Amino acid sequence: MAKAIKVPNLEEMREYLKNFKADPIHNRINDADHAAMHKEMTIRIFSVDMTDDVKVTAWKFCKTLANFAHAPVSPAEYKRMEKWLPETGLIDALLKACDDYYPDPAFKYDFDTIGFSYSIALISQSQYKRADCLALLDKITQYYVNTKDDWYTVLLRNMTKLCKTFPDLTGFKTALESI
């Protein structure tokens, strides 16, 4: 029998962050669960309404991201997202969680650039609801074209690495190169 996965609820995550911020010197991120709860992207994902099965998948996804040291750079790092492509409920949650969420160019403490970057990498590769994925990528691209915030370079790298396999990303790459 498979071991049941304990998925914290949104309130537990918020309480953990509140306690951590109240005493950051004595509180320690000592395992993947704590690292995942410490990420803004986890909070955003779990703010989306989803079934219990999708919550388990989303929790596994967030814990995986908590183990990464940086945003995807190499083709192998982008390939990490392939195993999540069949998880359509997760894709739906990420489409909502990433909407109207833009990294601060100063990479402030509360922002999870790794989680956001890998979420965008997954959305960029997903064929599920491709029109919705492309619409979100267009919205995010236009935001960075208009604001010229420094984070656009991470998004440009995403498009550059993936546009050979996914030619429908080429327009985003071109728009970002114009900055």
Let me know if residue 85 belongs to a domain: yes
Let me know if residue 23 belongs to a domain: no
Let me know if residue 104 belongs to a domain: no
Q: How much of the chain is helix, strand and coil, in % rounded to 5?
A: 65, 0, 35
Number of domains in the chain: 1
Lowest mean pLDDT among 27-41, 53-67, 127-141, 143-157: 27-41
**pLDDT, tens digit (0-9, with 9 covering 90-100), for 118-149:** 999 999 999 999 999 999 999 999 999 999 88
How many CB atoms are located within 10 Å of the residue 163 CB? 17
Whether the model pTM is above 0.75: yes
Let me know if residue 25 belongs to a domain: no
Range of the domain at 87: 10-17+30-99+109-177
**pLDDT, tens digit (0-9, with 9 covering 90-100), for 65-100:** 988 989 999 999 999 999 999 999 999 999 999 999
Dihedral Cα 145, 160, 42, 100, nearest 10 deg: 20
Which two three-digit tokens encode residue 130? 């491709």
Let me know if residue 50 belongs to a domain: yes
Q: Is 121 helix (H, G, I), strand (E, B) or coil?
A: helix
